[in-house]
Amino acid sequence: MSPDGFDAVVVGSGPNGLVGAVRLAEAGLRVLLVEAADTFGGGLRTEQLTLPGFHHDVCATALPLALASPALRAIDPTRDGVEFCHPPVPAAHPLDGAPAALVLRDVDATAAGFGADAARWRATVGATAGAGFPLVDTLLAPLDLPPAALLAAARYGVLGALPATVTGRLFREPAARAAFAGMAAHAILDLGAPVTAGYGLLIGALAHSVGWPVVRGGSQGLADGLVTRLRGLGAEIVTGCRVRDLGELPPAPVTLLDLTPRQVLALAGDRLPTGYRRRLARFRYGAGVFKLDYALDAPVPWSDPAVAGAGTVHLAGTFEEVVAAERTVARGGHAERPFVLGVQACTADPSRAPEGKHTFWAYCHVPNGSTVDMTAAIEGQIERFAPGFGDRVLARHAMGPAALEAHNANEVGGDINGGAGDWRQFLSRPVLARHPWRTPLPGVYLCSSSTPPGGGVHGMGGWQAAGLALAGP
Ligand SMILES: Cc1cc2nc3c(=O)[nH]c(=O)nc-3n(C[C@H](O)[C@H](O)[C@H](O)COP(=O)(O)OP(=O)(O)OC[C@H]3O[C@@H](n4cnc5c(N)ncnc54)[C@H](O)[C@@H]3O)c2cc1C
């Protein structure tokens, strides 16, 4: 690490750290990026976890938020060779003894599959998609409301602020109800909690407005593209260097921390005023995940062949089953029939596996810090909708909360979103403030998914923190 001479130091190379670093470097600052792991990317890493030639996204894989993000739209990583690949069907939700619910790019075609609920899907999820980037920009930069987006945000807010169990009552058909619950379950909350409908509306709408793509070759490609940009701007990047104390960093007027409150407390310690330390210590982490990656010798044998074209597959059955599974986790239990999020990246990007072979990525939610092996429960749900799946498995790789946290210290207890995304921590992330990215330490900013707008690959925490740093005190 150079001893000095930097205008800004960024700790952590997740999407938020990388985006923040790019914004600072593009403004002409000399940037140093320091990463604990031997490779950069945080939640964007791709590794051959199972067998040679099978490329698995260790964390994030379906990246609609990257296409929707105002920050990544401005940076445009496609200029650095990043290619987003779209599956024929963004998302499918198989049902027992009935055709799967399919969420397609086209709102009308999707609605047509929902029978009597067609108009309701268009009026809710379809209308959210129709509000376009002004609404998305508002939701991803919630504290910077552009006046033009107020009306769309208000309309969205009426339904979105409700629990998914309430807004979900608008739908009568099992397929539309299940599809909506599957989208809302991305909240990783009890679906009876406020704002969970907002997750369902937004995630569903993104399938229509931007799609649910994967990155060619793996999510690592997005991190690589951002690093290429950074290097082109003269930034220095150091990997394999875990920062344990802020005092280890070379002096610089600006420091961005792509870290969650627990690590910030450890790094900054007594430098932070007691009141702020107490507020950070009160920040709550959310449920964890248990994840499996598979190398397959053939595609997943879905009972409903229409599911074969889907990138993302929600495996849990009915609306009621999704709600029950997520409620069990929120109450500290392990669902016997969990809500399983599966992604078959090869439908969009065959380069993930050797010719004719496939990968499958799957996880379910578990209580924070759980040590329970959920392999059998996850595979039970896959076999339920794809009998014979087990016969196609060449190799599997499992990661529970402890393994995820060892891979990336930000995934505390297996929490993939840098803290619970409930309504209280939507408003106070990690503290209630007009600019929660700012810390009481001059020039030190938080930029991880523990800041607004929260989890997901959008880089908005980094974008906002860098914007504040450039604006000055
Ligand atoms: C299993 C899983 C599946 C997911 N699926 C999706 C998905 O499909 N789509 C989606 O949009 N999002 C998904 N996410 C969420 C997404 O990956 C995260 O929200 C996102 O990566 C957060 O970005 P970040 O920059 O805030 O932090 P991170 O990506 O967590 O990066 C933080 C970085 O900081 C480094 N670091 C930590 N401590 C130190 C230290 N002391 N010194 C130096 N470096 C340090 C870490 O090594 C890491 O590289 C998933 C996450 C997981 C774990």
What pLDDT, on the 0 to 100 scale, is given for residue 149? 65
159 alpha carbon to ligand 1 midpoint, in Å?
A: 29
What pLDDT, on the 0 to 100 scale, is given for residue 133? 76
| pLDDT tens-place string over residues 388-444 | 999 999 999 999 999 999 999 999 999 999 999 999 998 899 999 999 999 999 999
**Amino acid code (one letter) for 64:** P
What pLDDT, on the 0 to 100 scale, is given for residue 142? 61
HSE-up (13 A, CA, CB side) for residue 163: 11
Q: What does pLDDT average to over the chain?
A: 95
* Closest ligand 1 atom to Cα of 34: 43
Domain 8-47+215-283+418-471 indexed as CATH 3.50.50.60: yes
**Which strands form 444-446's sheet, in the order they lie side by side?**
236-238, 31-34, 8-11, 254-257, 444-446
What pLDDT, on the 0 to 100 scale, is given for residue 316? 97
37 lines ligand 1 (CB under 6 A): yes
Distance CA 48, CA 353 (A): 10
What pLDDT, on the 0 to 100 scale, is given for residue 2? 41
Tell me the pLDDT band of 169, cut-offs 50, 70 and 90.
very high
Distance CA 359, CA 371 (A): 25
| Domain spans, the chain | 8-47+215-283+418-471
What pLDDT, on the 0 to 100 scale, is given for residue 155? 75
| pLDDT tens-place string over residues 2-14 | 445 899 999 999 9
What pLDDT, on the 0 to 100 scale, is given for residue 145? 60
59 alpha carbon to ligand 1 midpoint, in Å?
A: 7
What DSSP designation does 51 have? S
- Reported as type and span, the H/E element at residue 11 is strand 8-11
Residue closest via CA to ligand 1's atom 34 equals 12
Residue closest via CA to ligand 1's atom 27 equals 14
Pick from 10, 56, 59 the residue to mutate for probing ligand 1's pocket: most ligand atoms within 8 Å of its CB.
Answer: 59
Residue closest via CA to ligand 1's atom 13 equals 60
12 alpha carbon to ligand 1 midpoint, in Å?
A: 9
340 lines ligand 1 (CB under 6 A): no
Residue closest via CA to ligand 1's atom 41 equals 243
DSSP assignment of 82-125 equals: --EE--SEEEEEEETTEEEEEE-SSHHHHHHTTGGGHHHHIIII
**Among candidate residues 467, 287, 343, 268, the one with its CA nearest the CA of residue 59:** 343
Distance CA 468, CA 322 (A): 40
382 alpha carbon to ligand 1 midpoint, in Å?
A: 26
153: pLDDT strictly greater than 80: no
366 lines ligand 1 (CB under 6 A): no
| pLDDT tens-place string over residues 292-351 | 999 999 999 999 999 999 999 999 999 999 999 999 999 999 999 999 999 999 999 999
409 alpha carbon to ligand 1 midpoint, in Å?
A: 9
Strands 358-366 and 288-296: antiparallel
| pLDDT tens-place string over residues 123-141 | 999 999 888 777 777 777 7
337 alpha carbon to ligand 1 midpoint, in Å?
A: 27
Residue closest via CA to ligand 1's atom 11 equals 456
Strands 214-215 and 310-315: unpaired
CB 289 within 8 A of CB 404: yes
What pLDDT, on the 0 to 100 scale, is given for residue 90? 98
42 alpha carbon to ligand 1 midpoint, in Å?
A: 4
Q: How far is CA 217 from CA 210, 279, 352, in A?
A: 20, 41, 6
383: pLDDT strictly greater than 80: yes
453 alpha carbon to ligand 1 midpoint, in Å?
A: 14
* Closest ligand 1 atom to Cα of 291: 1
* Closest ligand 1 atom to Cα of 363: 1
Residue closest via CA to ligand 1's atom 7 equals 60
The residues pairing with 364 across neighbouring beta strands, listed in sequence order, are 290, 340
Distance CA 155, CA 87 (A): 30
DSSP assignment of 283-342 equals: PPP--EEEEEEEEESS----SSGGGGGEEEEEES-SHHHHHHHHHHHHTT---SS--EEE
Report the number of secondary-structure helices (H) and strands (E) in the chain: 19, 16
260 lines ligand 1 (CB under 6 A): no
65 lines ligand 1 (CB under 6 A): yes
CB 12 within 8 A of CB 410: yes
Distance CA 310, CA 385 (A): 14
Strands (E) in 166-305, as ranges, are 214-215, 236-238, 254-257, 288-296
Q: How far is CA 318 from CA 30, 46, 141, 196, 339, in A?
A: 53, 32, 33, 17, 10
143: pLDDT strictly greater than 70: no
The residue-averaged pLDDT of 438-459 equals: 97
196 alpha carbon to ligand 1 midpoint, in Å?
A: 22
Residue closest via CA to ligand 1's atom 1 equals 59
What tokens appear for 166 in the block? 């309430």
Distance CA 105, CA 89 (A): 7
What pLDDT, on the 0 to 100 scale, is given for residue 131? 81
Strands 340-343 and 310-315: antiparallel
Q: Is the peptide bond before 15 cis (omega within 30 degrees of 0)?
A: no
Tell me the pLDDT band of 265, cut-offs 50, 70 and 90.
very high
* Closest ligand 1 atom to Cα of 459: 25
418 alpha carbon to ligand 1 midpoint, in Å?
A: 8
Q: Name the 3-class secondary structure at 362.
A: strand
| pLDDT tens-place string over residues 81-121 | 999 999 999 999 999 999 999 999 999 999 999 999 999 99
209 lines ligand 1 (CB under 6 A): no
415 alpha carbon to ligand 1 midpoint, in Å?
A: 10
What pLDDT, on the 0 to 100 scale, is given for residue 1? 41
419 alpha carbon to ligand 1 midpoint, in Å?
A: 12
The C-alpha angle with vertex 136 and arms to 133 and 138, in degrees rounded to 5, equals: 110
What pLDDT, on the 0 to 100 scale, is given for residue 261? 98
